């Protein structure tokens, strides 16, 4: 059975629900988990108006603070579930690549992710990190809705 799960999180409610379910699965199977948060690279052009005021340093500090918060919550939930846990932060503009790379580097044998439920034209145009991981990963992927 699976011994080491990689569970990416973006801190969203859907991701938090996936974390809880992944930890329950890990507890039942005796697996350990690694929580991952991927920080995007700093870009001057952005869709967030507040980012126009950001400098590289303030962006990095804010992103690191969010990552710390998300992964601290992950570690706390793992401890409550009695699951051995490690956390890691990666920086990449393509989270799917960071997810696959981290899973390989950490010798994970299962990636557990949430589906954001996009359908139709929105899914086609936007795509999804989960779909890209499913398409490119050689490691099994469990998708939770």
pLDDT tens, residue order, the chain (145 aa) = 899 999 999 988 989 999 999 999 999 999 999 999 999 887 665 555 555 555 778 888 899 999 999 999 999 999 999 999 999 999 999 999 999 999 999 999 999 998 865 555 555 544 588 989 999 999 999 999 8
Residue 71's domain comprises 4-144
**Number of domains observed in the structure of the chain:** 1
Chain centre distance of CA 48:
21
Q: Which residues pair with 90 in a beta bridge?
A: 38
How far apart (Å, rounded) are the C-alpha atoms in residues 4 and 129?
Answer: 21
Instruction: Decide: helix, strand or coil at residue 37.
Output: strand
Task: Tell me the C-alpha to C-alpha distance, in Å, between residue 31 and each of 34, 78, 140.
Answer: 10, 11, 15
* Bridge partners, residue 8, by sequence: 36
3-state secondary structure of 111: strand
Q: Residue 137 sits in a domain of what CATH number?
A: 3.40.50.620
The rounded distance, in Å, linking the Cα atoms of 111 and 39 is: 18
Q: Distance of alpha carbon 43 from its chain centroid, rounded?
A: 21
Question: Between 56-81 and 13-29, two packed helices, what is the crossing angle to 10 degrees?
Answer: 40
């Amino acid at each position: 059975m699976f011994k080491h799960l990689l569970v990416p999180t973006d801190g969203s409610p859907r991701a938090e629900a996936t974390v809880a379910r992944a930890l329950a699965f890990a507890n039942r199977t005796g697996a350990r988990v690694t929580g991952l948060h991927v920080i995007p690279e700093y870009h001057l052009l952005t869709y967030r108006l507040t980012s126009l005021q950001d400098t590289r340093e303030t962006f990095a500090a804010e992103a690191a603070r969010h990552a710390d918060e998300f992964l601290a919550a992950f570690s706390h939930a793992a401890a409550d579930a009695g699951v051995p846990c490690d956390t890691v932060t990666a920086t990449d503009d393509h989270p799917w690549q960071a997810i696959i790379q981290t899973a390989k580097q950490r010798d994970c044998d299962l990636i557990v992710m949430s589906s954001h439920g996009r359908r139709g034209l929105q899914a086609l145009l936007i795509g999804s990190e989960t779909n890209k991981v499913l398409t490119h990963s050689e490691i099994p992927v469990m998708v939770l809705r």
